[in-house]
Amino acid sequence: MRYEETLRNPERNPMKRRVLLQAGVAATSVATTAMRSANAQDGNPEVGAIADSFSRPVFIATWNFGQAACERSREVLLGGGSLKDAVERGIHVAELDASNHSVGYGGFPNAQGVVQLDACFMDGLRQQAGSVAALEGFPNPISVARRVMETTPHVMLVGDDAVAFAKKQGFQPQDLLTEEARLGWERWKTAQQQGESATTDSHDTISLLGLNADGHIVGGCSTSGLAFKLPGRVGDSPIIGSGLYVDGEVGAAGATGVGENIMRYCGCFLIVEFMRQGMSPTEACAAAIRRIAAGEQRPASELSVNFVALNKAGQVGAAGTDKGFRCAVVDGRQSLVARPQLLQ
């Protein structure tokens, strides 16, 4: 299958993430009680049931690996660091994990075997934001994105110019293609040449949101993007309002999944606006997914669209279309992985 066709028809993409392969096809609706009961076997509580059980400061992130990231964020904040420091260094945990093939160092490369990273950073104070896309050679794109926000009048830098900026800011370049990722790319390339399908057990973007005791909100999003993507492809992760949005007076939302299905609807901005109208974080995430599914005119289960959110009061929430999607929530008293509201 040609790569261009996999983007037009993501449900046929042989390189889809594990969670896409697990997702079934059903009518667009809120998950049934039977589905929730089946998911409960993993021992994770449902995020909607624990939304009010956390106290500020609180962090929420996408996926199981987000738990270690959130715990690092808590450690930095309680150790005297700023909330921006906490979010940035929490995301570093995922970016520097070589076993994570969809974020930072160790991420799967593009179709030419080059690792290209995307990230954005946003501070709810005056909606400050920084972003980098198609960045090559730097394992912590979240830090480069933060530096764009803090040291330039711009929001987004891309490609070779983002590389030049990172070097000028003192970041040290390195080879990001691990042996494991290179072998995965070689297998994919061979399968493509032979007209065969190939699969990979890849996870996804980390979006991490933080709220401190004073009500300050910061968020970050980082990814290596779709495995073996077309060179230069950029998804939702570095796009303000798509993969991440933070409004200091309302709340924040972060995304993970197939970026093309999120960015065309400004998914995270939509969630924050729903919260502004009075919805809880989980209600807002679910409403955004329903809006996307309606626009796509296909079942939610085919979309791979997943969100986490929090509001200024400290409520957390999440909803998604992938059965394997989980979120991590950490505050001063507890740390856990939770199940989102599942829409199919």
219-249 core/surface letters (b: 16 or more CB in 10 A; e: else): bbbbbbbbbbbeeebbbbbbbbbbbbbbbbe
226: Cβ contacts below 8 Å, ≥ 6 apart: 15, 233, 235, 258, 259
* Residue 78 structure tokens: 């309680």
Beta-sheet strand order (sheet of 316-320)? 244-247, 251-257, 305-311, 316-320, 341-342
How far apart are the C-alpha atoms of 263 and 161, rounded to whole Å? 23
Q: Pick left, alpha or beta for residue 282 (phi over 0 → left; psi -120 to 50 → alpha; otherwise beta).
A: alpha
Q: Which of 28, 178, 200, 205 is catalytic?
A: 205
Q: Residues 162, 123: contact at Cβ < 8 Å?
A: no
56: Cβ contacts below 8 Å, ≥ 6 apart: 211, 212, 213, 215, 314, 331
Listed in order, strand segments (DSSP E) in 57-181 are: 58-62, 117-123, 128-135, 156-158
> Phi and psi for 244 in degrees, rounded to 5?
-160, 145
Alpha-carbon distances of 271 from 236, 246, 258, 262, 320, rounded to whole Å = 15, 10, 17, 12, 13
18: Cβ contacts below 8 Å, ≥ 6 apart: 200, 201, 202, 203, 324
Identify the residue whose tokens are 């994919």. 188
Q: Is 33 a catalytic residue?
A: no
Q: Residues 123, 246: contact at Cβ < 8 Å?
A: yes
Which residues have a catalytic role annotated?
Answer: 205
